[in-house]
Structure 1
């Protein structure tokens, strides 16, 4: 995603969704965002109402649709460039175990969310080795 600013992040997601709903041409990022949104019909009503989407605040311990979609996108980006190195092969191993890309992304997402939360809490950079270790533990 182009920004860590919450409003900018929401704007990118909402604009991609609007373009798709209106049949406009999507760039590569928009298409990826829309594909992730399609996997989450529970968010469609929220995304159809940009005013509500911008006004909603989400508690740190509760569900946040924009964070959830952003984590999906982060994982897809990591897989596309194999960064951190080895994530792509771990993803393939998980896919062999679970057979469903969306389920695998959700499992990796738990590791990524924990990694980011710990780094933020400790004021440190995320530790890729801890992230990959978490993902390795998911492989049956």
Structure 2
């Protein structure tokens, strides 16, 4: 999503906060804001924090401290949804549909894809190579 490439961490976080504010206040939204708000709706555990910008804008979420980064998690949901909309890598949509049929829950199936994507991105970062779409899709299809 090129939109996110041009934003600082604070600007990116502010876009989540603003999208959630607009959803709560039933204000007009841009398409990307609607996508963000849809993901936030699926995560009630993050909603209160997004209503208190001072609690999240400057906060560092460290895995060492046992903290999950809600912005990373929601961003991965958005990435998965973009992959599904474009069927990239080819076959991801079909693999996802199979997971949804097996699990009976699209949100849970997205979480399965997020785990696979996160592992693929971690490997890419560690190796210094681009993410391996074939390895990613293989991970996803093993989830069936």
- With the length of structure 2 as denominator, give the TM-score of the two structures: 0.91
Aligned runs of 1:1-140 on 2, under 5 Å? 1=1, 2-4=3-5, 5-60=8-63, 62-139=67-144
Q: Secondary structure at 1:83's aligned position in 2? A: coil
CA distance in 2, matches of 1:13, 1:105: 19
Superposition deviation, residue 3 in structure 1: 1.8
Contact 2:80 2:110 in 1 (8 A): yes
Contact 2:10 2:58 in 1 (8 A): no
Structure 1, residues 94-113: CA drift from partner, whole Å, max 9, x if none? 11110100000001100001
Superposition deviation, residue 9 in structure 1: 2.1
Contact 2:17 2:50 in 1 (8 A): yes
CA distance in 1, matches of 2:11, 2:85: 23
The count of residues paired between Structure 1 and Structure 2 equals 139
Choose 125-134 or 11-20, whichever is displaced more. Answer: 11-20
Q: Secondary structure at 1:85's aligned position in 2? A: coil
Q: Which runs of 5+ in 2 are unaligned?
A: none
Q: Which runs of 5+ in 1 are unaligned?
A: none
CA distance in 1, matches of 2:114, 2:95: 13
